Structure 1
């Protein structure tokens, strides 16, 4: 609901002291960082130097007696030192203090905390009680004293921090009395409106005590609205298999709202892959489980009053019939009234299947199957009778700017398994019949069964249009059998295995040999990329229990599950080394036994790289401005796309860009009028505490939010309580996020949200800051962002994940499944652009071996080295770097339409005579822009070896100039054949014409 507490004047009759208590907003009128967000206003009406306040504050926080209370003079703002806290409990507190200004108002702050640690990951501790009162004053306290400072109001710093009404707790006595009215011994059902999400799961809200025993639900909604309401089950004993049964709602005139349009998000739904599922709901004794019910009110429903029932069922307990009365209003809702998310109208999005169809996404082309060979954009997969790849090929040129007729073979022979018995001999399988089970433009799937008297191997595979090849390999023991080893062999060609990234290795030239063992407790490693710029393969090893782990600082809190097949109790591993004509990836399990009937899944995924050729013209034309700023300023600088981070006026809340969307739309409309595009920060990994659906999502247990130790910013501790992982915090707007659990129905909401933003706000794409979803969600996102001609630009930023907290995984390996749908990389924070090799730049940062291009971030990157890969930094993110000078040179040279020929291309027309000084050429008719960068450990000089014929330039007439480039180089002319000085870690941009 909207935060209607901005001016609260609601009076609540306190049943303990029969005094009216007002809950209201303090309108941010005090320093919350030092005093907290909650206070009691009391009015001292007595005389003398002792005031007594008795506050029935109905607190939900744990152990309130251990928290400090600060008393302040309302008139002067001074802290009062003579204070005696006589008694504190969750229900009430008694405080005596010296009223230094005599009659008047005083403030009692009761949740006082202190921040420490990182500003973005704060540690918040609540201050312990303190004794500041003078003995002389304490000695004057009488044994008995009537209340002479009654409560005027209980205030929160603002409406968002208020506990009223759903976090104002009922007392133990009130709870017992209310439950007794229902005359049940198993459970009680509390119907509740969508405007009041249940926020406490162990206590009843005082609101329910006030209204008395309510056993029916009444509400009203518009025609066509995604309506919702709650049935909160309070367990008087442990309950299992809690579920709901809906009846039609009828108006008595022959009209009805069908039960088929009703559901409960807590008991059933559609998962992020589009599959329907049911959940078994357990409710522990003395706890509260909200059940959120969804009702699709038909758009053609006749206005009127509709009645029906919802039956609550639980194993071993009597059913409860809850009468439901829904008034359908004449107004017709637009898009289900999703424009009013405070009414929980977007909960339906959790069960969305939007964009699940595996339709082909540009620039990819439909799959074509012919004679067991499947063609896809720039690549081919040939299927062996065993079901495994007989050959994997690409047709991309080394320049990555085109395709060719001759293939680049990735493997030397079919990928295959070895099941080696205890006698050292391999089991020989008989191949079954290969069957194609799906042939569509987006997916081709096949299966077969390979048999041996001791084993049956069921192979099911599918290839998608982007080059993702998934294998489900089910191995069943037909007899007891012992194995010396089980291995999967992937025999790479030397030409397609020049580089390697993963398995504890940063991106580099492939080592002569690599030996790796499973260690999921510490390392987010289950695969590797091996390849060249124009041909490669990433493979990952998994089983049927694979669950995507957490990432970005949180891997150790939810690591990989060791695959029972490949890991084999940590006996398994991978060895990559040359064997004969192949660079063999030997994926082994070590010795193991299987009993008759045992099943193991040796699943694996392959990604065939690159995904497409380079779009260099997009790189030159698309210039990001990464900050919310004035449109005129951005346009004048020369940027073409604005990236709107979170934590600002139009996108304040992390990963929840729906509250200030009208401001965002106004900004985007202005940008479009000025020829600029606008992308916004919106991803999945953590979610702002400002999300309207926070507490309905909490009602789903750990489906959407990860379990954790709690903590973090005080709002989370005071309103969410416990069992969560505190994530990113923005101090400027006090936005506190919670970590999501991984793959869940929140991804369905995310897709629907992107669709809504594209259609209603006009976003031109998204900026992803690391990613916590898989390729299924990424494909859906790309589809909705590019629908109806929208550009759908996606760039991905990653902080370097190669560290302890992230499980020592390479960012490019972690996110490679998303690369087919990205337009640019921004890798990123903690990447070292000064002390890493050219191979590291090429494989881990540039994106070039995958058909992408990138930008640099940390400290502005290294401008000279970056240009060898077509990269600059992004403005105005890094104050020490400014790419506008390079942008100007691009325009002056006319880089649009130029062919990029990187130093990695064997016939590059310009090379240096120093292997540590690289040269990349941007070639146009009759001229070339040459980028030179040094990885030499000292200043040096180089000569250029130029293939003039390739450049199409007459050397007798050629000129070599270094134009002046701001913050990059001074102007200089060089003669053909002249030595060129190159400073350590720097280089040149030269024009040859």
Structure 2
């Protein structure tokens, strides 16, 4: 057929053809899909390509454009299966690289669907600490089949989609990489720039640090970011900086946003969390962001849209500045007529809670019950049950407590802790004091209910010593001691002497010493590379001090298996290149703690900081009634079944239906609230597991937090569960893993702005979900965060119960510290201890129980865990184990005795008190009395090496019972003791490691 076309028709056809040519993509977009958990990732990995073979013969060939972010894919195994799940053995691979790979296989089931799994891994390690290793390539193909593959064979399969085992494992779209040529092209088009800025919304977290996402290639470099926000919402967005050369100082500045009708969102309400904010301690956070050539840095920004903002579209500028060069971005934000509350934090998947990173909630140091405001009178500072007296040089001349030996009340009789004032000494090589001081006198710089601060300057000819110190309402003292050389000087030693009264130095814990009786003499040297040791607690039950020696750049080390990955910093002053150490030498009048730093020289102008902290113990009297009333059930179970046990407080661990993800209890909060509401209706309280030493990978903010470098997440070797390796990539420490729900945690770096988020989160859970407190499983934050947590948990008359569990930290991985010594700064705000795994309740002596487990010298009580504890020994300290972690003992039987005796309201008089009215005639068998009007419960327990018979030595007057009318009975307690009656003069048989509960009337 002959076509007669005029020029206009020809031109139209050419334009149409050009249009279709331009419209055809160079590479069709592969479809990415959710596999809906339709295969076992532990066998096949998390990713597969779905391939449709429609050809003939016994050779199928497909090229998969998988655009993988993992390095060296050629070193990973390929598994091919047919639609029924049968493995194809005849497989050959060609040109496997990050962009694509060619797979040739035998279509054993003929035409149809085949699956190519390309990242199978093998989980090694333990269940909770896996080590995912990717399987290496295998050649199972038959040689004869291989020989028949044609060299010019064309692709005869279609890749219909790429699937991840579920949506959470998907790489699409932010981890689907751009090809090398695509990246080269976009760089070439912007060759005059030192960096590019890619604009990304809050729903597509930037995840890769080196590869551009294909999504950015498709979008291109843009200069305008548009989004919609509700009134009152925190609108997060990202500026992805791609460095074409090394960038040393990346900042973002913002103008006001102005609407078409003249309304304004001020620039001060827009910020970048990567560079600016507020630290966990309330001080300003300023960070310098550097980006190496070829790397990507997500700059997370947020607009605090006022609730009063007018509806409309607002425009303004964000300017990314790096080394004097800048890129200007237009911001166009449409504010809808809808009003949200609390910044939209009820929708955390929208990154609204990133605002929490800069929170100052509960930061003001207000007094927390049961503590009382500090009172200053001349040089004396009084606080709950304690008093501090200061010398003109700023150091304590005396520290006193006023607690009774029973720890049940406060008296006017002081317990002196110091035998003479605390002092620094500057000595020559012969050990002689070399300096004569002139002192400026004591000057108070702050007098508040929660904090009193003071300063003093002492000057000699060669050295000036500036002392700045403070005490807080709970008995925590912080000293900054600045030593400045006024001329060149040499010293044989600079040392710090802490002289203690022997009566207040009976026990010791720390510096490599297990809790117990203080040794007669003691010598210790710094070893921060291996030991988390910088101080100790020395004291008696009702008076004591913890001291800690600190570098001026002190950073809290990691704990709970990770100390060696972030150990203590050796103090320049105290450590003095490992010349420093501590000795303890006692005599009849004093127990002298001497922290020496050894010989050194100082040039004129040199500065050393001899900083230290003190904690005055105990913190308060023991609340025994809380112990008897608060029977903990530590497991997620139906409310009715828990009620039947007699428990009154439920602890919800993680890894269950209402609190599935470790330290991120926000995803199933509706289920949690429903459970708590039912518990409250039935008279039970509910606490949840939530701490910050590690954070679940299910956190919505994971990659925003990763953009902050090492601020939130600790540096590390990576590895661990496959999801972490595939999405987080590298430079992290893999922590606790729950295989049943694939919850993989990442170690928190320590003191950082995640604690601000944590405080806000606890406040939100208290106010919106109704939690009654938290269960802490070891602690990675300091006392500042603990005080803030206690404030938000107890506001508006919420109970705010906090119990602390710790596995014994006295081991290599934890740096040989004692759990009680490590966490003592938190004890003022704890309600109960649960010292836990690896605590030996059988081999350790009573002094260990008293100091390391019971909490009594600090005003606390506790419970036992390991192997069910020892119920007989536990009751000497008012402890049982915890349901349903009973193992060898069921606490319900003892709980029933508590109730039948009426232990609530009784006075606990422990064996450690000289006022205890009952003792035995065997020093290895101890007795504690729970005294009421006209009756008493006596707990005796044996640490003797064999079965023994003992007699009770009873001070009937102190007991308040007429011996002529007294009866002594042992009520039957299942799995604890048989019923029996004794007379006062009878010998009572006590089995090795056991004891009795006796009621005297």
SS at match of 2:723: helix
The equivalent position to 1:45 in structure 2, one of 54, 57, 63, is 54
TM-superposed deviation, 1:386: 1.0
- When structure 1 is superposed on structure 2, of 840-849 and 84-93 the one drifting more is 84-93
- Residues 269 and 351 in structure 1, CA contact (< 8 A), matched pair in contact too: yes
SS at match of 1:842: helix
The equivalent position to 2:389 in structure 1, one of 382, 385, 398, is 382
CA distance in 2, matches of 1:538, 1:16: 70
What is residue 354 of structure 2 aligned with on the other side? 347
RMSD: 1.1
Q: Does 1:395 pair with 2:407? A: no
CA distance in 2, matches of 1:866, 1:55: 65
Q: Does 1:460 pair with 2:468? A: yes
Aligned 1:320-719 pairs, distance under 5 A: 320-422=327-429, 424-426=431-433, 427-579=435-587, 581-719=589-727
TM-superposed deviation, 1:183: 4.5
- Residues 14 and 21 in structure 1, CA contact (< 8 A), matched pair in contact too: no
- Residues 50 and 98 in structure 1, CA contact (< 8 A), matched pair in contact too: yes
Structure 1 990/641 Cα, relative in aligned 2: closer, same or farther at 3 Å? same
The equivalent position to 1:63 in structure 2, one of 62, 65, 72, is 72
What is residue 77 of structure 1 aligned with on the other side? 85
What is residue 931 of structure 1 aligned with on the other side? 939
What is residue 841 of structure 2 aligned with on the other side? 833
SS at match of 1:175: helix
The one-character-per-residue Cα deviations of 1:252-294 (angstroms, maximum 9, x if unpaired) are 3220100011110111110011011211110000000010111
What is residue 991 of structure 2 aligned with on the other side? 983
CA distance in 2, matches of 1:35, 1:880: 41
CA distance in 1, matches of 2:108, 2:644: 60
Q: Does 1:876 pair with 2:880? A: no
The equivalent position to 1:296 in structure 2, one of 286, 304, 316, is 304
TM-superposed deviation, 1:213: 2.7
The one-character-per-residue Cα deviations of 1:778-828 (angstroms, maximum 9, x if unpaired) are 000000000100000000000000000000000001000000000000001
The one-character-per-residue Cα deviations of 1:734-773 (angstroms, maximum 9, x if unpaired) are 0000001110000000000000100110000000000000
- Residues 968 and 998 in structure 2, CA contact (< 8 A), matched pair in contact too: yes
The one-character-per-residue Cα deviations of 1:167-209 (angstroms, maximum 9, x if unpaired) are 1111111112223334433100111111111000111111111
- Residues 16 and 56 in structure 1, CA contact (< 8 A), matched pair in contact too: no
CA distance in 2, matches of 1:97, 1:970: 74
Structure 1 662/223 Cα, relative in aligned 2: closer, same or farther at 3 Å? same
- Residues 533 and 610 in structure 1, CA contact (< 8 A), matched pair in contact too: yes
CA distance in 1, matches of 2:258, 2:148: 70
- Residues 225 and 298 in structure 1, CA contact (< 8 A), matched pair in contact too: yes
TM-superposed deviation, 1:966: 1.8
CA distance in 2, matches of 1:105, 1:868: 70
Structure 1 452/580 Cα, relative in aligned 2: closer, same or farther at 3 Å? farther
SS at match of 1:637: coil
The one-character-per-residue Cα deviations of 1:76-97 (angstroms, maximum 9, x if unpaired) are 2111101111221000010011
- Residues 61 and 153 in structure 2, CA contact (< 8 A), matched pair in contact too: yes
CA distance in 2, matches of 1:199, 1:841: 49
CA distance in 1, matches of 2:184, 2:436: 71
What is residue 24 of structure 1 aligned with on the other side? 33
What is residue 248 of structure 2 aligned with on the other side? 240
Q: Does 1:224 pair with 2:227? A: no
The equivalent position to 2:196 in structure 1, one of 188, 203, 214, is 188
Q: Does 1:775 pair with 2:762? A: no
CA distance in 2, matches of 1:545, 1:279: 17
CA distance in 1, matches of 2:981, 2:24: 89
Aligned 1:842-991 pairs, distance under 5 A: 842-991=850-999
SS at match of 1:21: coil
The one-character-per-residue Cα deviations of 1:43-96 (angstroms, maximum 9, x if unpaired) are 00101111111100000011110000100111x211110111122100001001
What is residue 7 of structure 1 aligned with on the other side? none
- Residues 548 and 743 in structure 1, CA contact (< 8 A), matched pair in contact too: yes
CA distance in 2, matches of 1:745, 1:421: 45
CA distance in 1, matches of 2:816, 2:955: 42
CA distance in 1, matches of 2:640, 2:485: 70
CA distance in 2, matches of 1:944, 1:278: 66
What is residue 11 of structure 2 aligned with on the other side? none
SS at match of 1:88: coil
- Residues 182 and 213 in structure 1, CA contact (< 8 A), matched pair in contact too: no
What is residue 5 of structure 1 aligned with on the other side? none
TM-superposed deviation, 1:413: 1.0
- Residues 912 and 918 in structure 1, CA contact (< 8 A), matched pair in contact too: yes
TM-score normalised by L of structure 1: 0.98
CA distance in 1, matches of 2:133, 2:151: 34
CA distance in 1, matches of 2:902, 2:704: 55
CA distance in 1, matches of 2:38, 2:395: 68
CA distance in 1, matches of 2:29, 2:262: 47
CA distance in 1, matches of 2:955, 2:26: 94
TM-score normalised by L of structure 2: 0.97
TM-superposed deviation, 1:579: 4.3
TM-superposed deviation, 1:211: 1.8
The one-character-per-residue Cα deviations of 1:636-680 (angstroms, maximum 9, x if unpaired) are 111000000000000000000000000000000010000000000
Structure 1 20/460 Cα, relative in aligned 2: closer, same or farther at 3 Å? closer
The equivalent position to 2:173 in structure 1, one of 160, 165, 187, is 165
The one-character-per-residue Cα deviations of 1:18-59 (angstroms, maximum 9, x if unpaired) are 334211111001111111111110000101111111100000
CA distance in 2, matches of 1:254, 1:880: 73
CA distance in 2, matches of 1:152, 1:272: 50
CA distance in 1, matches of 2:561, 2:528: 15
CA distance in 2, matches of 1:579, 1:460: 32
The one-character-per-residue Cα deviations of 1:933-953 (angstroms, maximum 9, x if unpaired) are 110010111000001111111
SS at match of 1:460: strand
Q: Does 1:210 pair with 2:218? A: yes
TM-superposed deviation, 1:593: 0.7
The equivalent position to 1:128 in structure 2, one of 129, 136, 140, is 136
- Residues 14 and 56 in structure 1, CA contact (< 8 A), matched pair in contact too: no
Aligned 1:757-776 pairs, distance under 5 A: 757-776=765-784
CA distance in 2, matches of 1:172, 1:506: 59
The one-character-per-residue Cα deviations of 1:561-608 (angstroms, maximum 9, x if unpaired) are 000000010000000111461100011011111110000000010000
CA distance in 2, matches of 1:662, 1:842: 42
User: How many residues align structurally?
Assistant: 979
CA distance in 2, matches of 1:93, 1:880: 58
TM-superposed deviation, 1:16: 8.8
Structure 1 residue ranges without an equivalent (≥5): 1-12
CA distance in 2, matches of 1:146, 1:15: 22
Structure 1 321/82 Cα, relative in aligned 2: closer, same or farther at 3 Å? same
TM-superposed deviation, 1:397: 0.1
